[in-house]
């Protein structure tokens, strides 16, 4: 099984310069035995000092591949002794004493395999399931491809242990050899095994006709339908003809229709339109959903034809689909459906009762908002005002989601009404062109410092200060400046109020760590060259973890304003912080910015420290190390990052993939491709695709956007003055640790679109 946490004492190896033979020590297969012979019980001890010498005459360390779970990572040592003297010392002193005497600092070397190919193939027949699993994982990387695949294929049909079967299937997927397809298809069809879904996922890496047929048939199996559907989507256009044939059969496959919708291939539109006349209600419903998913606008007239279908479920699906594929001709029809009620003759039509009418009106209202927001505003205003328990709350929800300037009066009413004023303020800040700023400024008079209106003004000014009239923007800045405190200071920085910079310098020297942290956060969201010196001075003596994290993050945006010598002088103190898991990621990122200014010796030491951090027991530290290596531009770290692609933590794999995307695949492109074949997380899988694509390199600083993330946490026991610690994983893979304001709020700006994972920390747990 893969070791977790820090690796045991790494197997060591040393080299000789020039063309001399390379001597190395290789850890024994058991990894944890204390003797030179493997013992079955050693795997439980957690320690290993076993090593065997092996002479390598031609193989270079760079030729070795880097799986985390089946290798040792050791330090590459370069000795400049004469070969004869080296061998004499080896005999006289032994490898351990010689290692201590001649160890020179160096970067983390290439990864070292635990099992060679022949030994791994023999391990597949071992009586211990853990040995068989380790052998299977090793064969996913090492050994002759044909021999390894043949051994894995031979072992799969007879293996009954679930863990070993998963290891065998993953190894076959990593190898990517077409000869593995029959065995994987057989594993997919093997009833009663828990690895069938993994086999379906693995088959998505083999674009063959046999694979597509097997996965298409598996769509009818509830146990593996989800995995088969995702694999078919990965196979792309090659699978479309088979799915179309399956959809044309009678009875049609609803699962095939769903996959066609997810693929979005327009070749399927005529077939799907034909299925709208299928006699089965579920088929018509799922077909309407598929047409909406693929955005097939040319199917709009056919979809509208089902608005009078005898089935309520079909009518509802057609209404919802029109919100995506409809056009101007369908706006009036949706408006008519919204206007109907239970007393205008619709009760008895097609067997509808009053509840069915309400469902139709709700669906029509949502589709009209999606299709023509301006046309929907009048209906929303009427329904929100009439107090209808069925449609009133929905109308309010839809108003809060509008972004057109015409929604400002409705949102103003919700802001003053009170029950949903916080949401209305946020919606006003999002209106196009800053159309809601004047309303927010008017409502700010008399508001308390913790008001959501002030936050909305700050967000609106950050986005639209250049689009609104000058006097409106000036009024917004005055409304924010009228308040004191940390929250008001941060809001002024979010609004990009330049006058706030003079207030940040004294706060960075405050005795209160909370004040220092907020001041640094304000400097981060609105940087200025004038703050660089104060930030450097604050960092030198900072002991509070949250303040250190915020100051370090702010300095990342001010590095151009800091003198090179001052930055290098901080490097030693930053290296000491690498051992503190609470602040290590920020310290590593800041140290990585100095990488290009340092001498080669310092670069080697820093690179070694960052690569060592990839083996930290804390996943946030491992993620931060990956980002730091990318920021440093250390292309020599590609193999260590490729090893991190097998990390059990999703955020670490995502960070390693993003780092490789920034550095370029280089000599680990094959390892990235192998990992992509078995990666089940869609975000990591997409990042792996980006690594080997020819598109522009991923920015080492992360993605920027115009999104604002607002978090508010209200614990039952109240909020301490230091705020609530939270971890936030951003859509681009960055892993942040922050504390909320004393109000329980956390504001992050300039984020890319996507979903963020927010984790509240309680003590040392998340």
CATH number of domain containing 512 = 1.25.10.10
Which of 111, 140, 162 terminates a domain? The answer is 111
Question: Are 437 and 489 found together in one domain?
Answer: no
Q: CA nearest 646: which of 656, 636, 659?
A: 656
And the tokens for 465?
């200060």
Q: Could you count the other beta carbons within 10 Å of the beta carbon of residue 10?
A: 18
Which of 483, 500, 528 terminates a domain? The answer is 483
Distance CA 196, CA 235 (A): 18
Confidence of residue 654 (pLDDT cuts 50, 70, 90): very high
Distance CA 256, CA 318 (A): 19
Whether residue 702 lies inside any domain: the answer is: no
Condensed to tens digits (0 to 9), the pLDDT of residues 27-40 reads 344 433 333 334 34
Confidence of residue 219 (pLDDT cuts 50, 70, 90): very high
Looking at mean pLDDT, say which of 140-149, 522-531, 566-575 comes out highest. Answer: 522-531
Note the pTM of the prediction, 2 decimals.
Answer: 0.79
Question: Are 558 and 422 found together in one domain?
Answer: no
**Would you mind telling me the total number of residues written for the chain in this entry?**
766
Q: Which residue has the higher pLDDT, 63 or 339?
A: 339
Give CA separation, 10 vs 554, 578, 766, in Å.
37, 20, 30
Q: Does position 111 have pLDDT exceeding 60, yes or no?
A: no
For residue 736, the SS3 value is: strand
Q: Which helix (H) or strand (E) segment is 471 a member of?
A: helix 470-481
Do the Cβ atoms of 530 and 501 come closer than 8 Å? yes
And the tokens for 557?
């945006």
And the tokens for 205?
């890496």
Distance CA 357, CA 342 (A): 6
Do the Cβ atoms of 743 and 720 come closer than 8 Å? no
Q: Could you count the other beta carbons within 10 Å of the beta carbon of residue 555?
A: 27
Condensed to tens digits (0 to 9), the pLDDT of residues 173-200 reads 999 999 999 999 999 998 766 789 999 9
For residue 23, the SS3 value is: strand
Q: Which residue has the higher pLDDT, 364 or 558?
A: 364
The torsion of the CA quartet 230, 231, 233, 235, rounded to 10 degrees, works out to 170
Whether residue 341 lies inside any domain: the answer is: no
Confidence of residue 501 (pLDDT cuts 50, 70, 90): very high
Question: Are 665 and 715 found together in one domain?
Answer: no
Question: Are 653 and 547 found together in one domain?
Answer: yes
Do the Cβ atoms of 16 and 22 come closer than 8 Å? yes
Distance CA 148, CA 120 (A): 9
725-729 and 735-739 strand pairing: antiparallel
Q: What is the pLDDT of residue 299?
A: 93
Give one DSSP letter per residue of 641-709, joined into a string. Answer: HHHHTT-SSHHHHHHHHHHHHHH--GGGHHHHHHHHHH---HHHHHHHHHHHSSSPPPPTT----SEEE
Condensed to tens digits (0 to 9), the pLDDT of residues 310-345 reads 999 999 999 999 999 999 989 999 999 998 654 443
Whether residue 137 lies inside any domain: the answer is: yes
Q: What is the pLDDT of residue 78?
A: 31
And the tokens for 345?
């003759």
What is the torsional sign of CA 317, 307, 324, 237?
positive
Whether residue 101 lies inside any domain: the answer is: yes
Distance CA 29, CA 431 (A): 63
Counted domains in the chain: 5
Question: Are 89 and 49 found together in one domain?
Answer: yes
Q: What is the pLDDT of residue 625?
A: 96
Q: Does position 717 have pLDDT exceeding 50, yes or no?
A: yes
Whether residue 525 lies inside any domain: the answer is: yes
Whether residue 638 lies inside any domain: the answer is: yes
Confidence of residue 449 (pLDDT cuts 50, 70, 90): confident
Q: Which of 59-73, 261-275, 335-349, 450-464 has the lowest mean pLDDT?
A: 59-73
Q: Which helix (H) or strand (E) segment is 258 a member of?
A: helix 254-263
Whether residue 29 lies inside any domain: the answer is: yes
Confidence of residue 408 (pLDDT cuts 50, 70, 90): very high
Question: Are 521 and 597 found together in one domain?
Answer: yes
Do the Cβ atoms of 180 and 211 come closer than 8 Å? no
The pLDDT of 107-125, averaged and rounded, is 59
757-760 and 735-739 strand pairing: unpaired
Q: Which helix (H) or strand (E) segment is 587 a member of?
A: helix 584-594
* Location of structure tokens 């850890």: 27
Q: Which of 362-366, 535-539, 697-701, 736-740 has the lowest mean pLDDT?
A: 697-701
Question: Are 655 and 624 found together in one domain?
Answer: yes
For residue 61, the SS3 value is: helix
Whether residue 375 lies inside any domain: the answer is: no
Q: What percent of the chain has pLDDT over 90?
A: 57
Q: CA nearest 140: which of 119, 120, 155?
A: 120
Q: What is the largest CA-CA distance in the chain?
A: 104
Question: Are 97 and 178 found together in one domain?
Answer: no
Do the Cβ atoms of 584 and 617 come closer than 8 Å? no
Distance CA 760, CA 95 (A): 49
Distance CA 700, CA 628 (A): 8
What residue numbers bound the domain in which 468 lies?
401-483
Q: Is the bond preceding 544 in cis, omega lying within 30 degrees of 0?
A: no
Question: Are 755 and 621 found together in one domain?
Answer: no
Condensed to tens digits (0 to 9), the pLDDT of residues 125-159 reads 888 898 899 999 889 888 788 899 999 999 999 99
Give one DSSP letter per residue of 298-331, joined into a string. Answer: GGHHHHHTTTT-S-HHHHHHHHHHHHHH--GGGH
And the tokens for 563?
């003198």
Which of 85, 111, 137 terminates a domain? The answer is 111
Question: Are 596 and 495 found together in one domain?
Answer: yes
Question: Are 405 and 548 found together in one domain?
Answer: no
What does the mean pLDDT of the chain come to? 82
Question: Are 659 and 728 found together in one domain?
Answer: no
């Amino acid at each position: 099984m893969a070791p977790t946490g820090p690796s045991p004492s790494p197997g060591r190896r040393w080299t000789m310069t020039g063309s001399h033979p390379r001597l190395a020590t290789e850890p024994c297969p058991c990894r944890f035995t204390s003797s030179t012979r493997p013992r079955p019980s050693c795997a439980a001890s957690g320690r290993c000092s076993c090593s065997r010498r092996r002479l390598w005459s031609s193989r270079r360390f760079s030729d070795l591949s880097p799986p985390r779970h089946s290798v040792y990572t050791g330090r590459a040592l370069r000795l400049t002794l004469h070969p004869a003297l080296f061998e004499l010392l080896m005999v006289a002193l032994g490898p351990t004493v010689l290692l201590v005497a001649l160890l020179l600092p160096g970067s983390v070397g290439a990864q070292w395999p635990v099992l060679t190919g022949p030994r791994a193939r023999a391990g597949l027949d071992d009586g211990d399931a853990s040995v068989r699993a380790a052998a299977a994982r090793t064969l996913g990387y090492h050994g002759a491809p044909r021999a390894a695949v043949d051994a894995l294929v031979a072992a799969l049909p007879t293996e009954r242990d679930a863990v070993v079967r998963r290891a065998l299937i993953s190894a076959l997927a990593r190898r990517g050899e077409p000869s593995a397809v029959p065995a994987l298809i057989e594993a997919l069809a093997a009833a009663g095994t828990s690895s069938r879904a993994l086999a379906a996922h693995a088959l998505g890496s083999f674009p063959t006709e046999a694979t597509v047929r097997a996965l298409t048939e598996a769509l009818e199996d509830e146990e593996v339908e989800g995995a088969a559907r995702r694999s078919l989507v990965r196979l792309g256009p090659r699978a479309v003809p088979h799915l179309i044939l399956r959809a044309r059969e009678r009875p049609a496959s609803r699962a095939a229709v769903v996959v066609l919708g997810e693929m979005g291939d327009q070749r399927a539109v005529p077939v799907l339109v034909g299925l709208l006349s299928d006699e089965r209600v579920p088929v018509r419903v799922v077909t309407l959903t598929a047409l909406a998913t693929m955005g097939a606008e040319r199917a709009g007239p056919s979809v509208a034809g089902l608005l009078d279908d005898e089935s309520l479920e079909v009518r509802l699906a057609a209404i919802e689909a029109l919100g995506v594929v409809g056009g101007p001709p369908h706006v009036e029809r949706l408006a008519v459906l919204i206007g109907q009620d239970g007393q205008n003759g619709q009760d008895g039509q097609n067997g509808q009762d009053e509840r069915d009418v309400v469902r139709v009106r709700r669906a029509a209202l949502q589709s009209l908002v999606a299709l023509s927001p301006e046309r929907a505003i009048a209906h929303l205003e009427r329904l929100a005002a009439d107090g209808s328990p069925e449609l009133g709350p929905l109308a309010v929800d839809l108003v809060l989601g509008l972004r057109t300037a015409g929604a400002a009066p409705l949102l103003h009413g919700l802001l003053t009404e009170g029950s949903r004023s916080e949401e209305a303020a946020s919606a006003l800040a999002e209106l196009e062109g800053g159309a809601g700023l004047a309303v927010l400024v008017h409502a700010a008079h008399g508001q308390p410092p913790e008001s959501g209106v002030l936050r909305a003004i700050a967000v609106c000014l950050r986005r639209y200060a250049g689009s609104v009239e000058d006097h409106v923007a000036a009024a917004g800045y005055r409304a924010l400046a009228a308040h004191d405190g940390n929250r008001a200071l941060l809001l002024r920085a979010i609004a990009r109020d330049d006058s706030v910079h003079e207030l940040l310098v004294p706060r960075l020297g405050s005795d209160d760590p909370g004040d220092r942290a907020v001041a640094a956060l304000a400097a981060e969201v609105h940087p200025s060259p004038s703050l660089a010196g104060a930030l450097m001075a604050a960092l030198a003596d900072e002991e509070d973890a949250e303040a250190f994290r915020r100051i370090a993050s702010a300095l990342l945006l001010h590095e151009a304003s800091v003198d090179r010598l001052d930055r290098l002088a901080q490097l030693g103190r930053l290296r000491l912080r690498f051992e503190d898991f609470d602040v290590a990621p920020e310290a590593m990122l800041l140290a990585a910015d100095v990488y290009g200014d340092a001498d080669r010796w310092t670069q080697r030491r820093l690179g070694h420290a960052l690569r060592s951090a990839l083996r930290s027991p804390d996943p946030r530290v491992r993620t931060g190390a990956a980002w730091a290596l990318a920021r440093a531009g250390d292309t020599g770290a590609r193999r260590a990052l490729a090893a991190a692609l097998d990390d059990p933590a999703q955020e670490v794999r995502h960070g390693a993939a993003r780092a490789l995307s920034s550095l370029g695949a280089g000599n680990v492109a094959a390892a990235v491709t192998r990992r992509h074949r078995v990666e089940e997380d869609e975000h990591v899988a997409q990042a792996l695709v980006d690594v080997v694509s020819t598109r522009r390199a991923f920015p080492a600083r992360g993605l920027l956007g115009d999104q604002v993330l607002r978090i508010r946490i209200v614990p039952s026991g109240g909020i301490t003055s230091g705020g609530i610690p939270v971890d936030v994983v951003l859509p681009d893979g960055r892993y942040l640790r922050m504390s909320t304001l004393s109000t329980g709020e956390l504001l992050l700006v300039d984020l890319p679109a996507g979903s963020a994972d927010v984790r509240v920390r309680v003590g040392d747990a998340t």
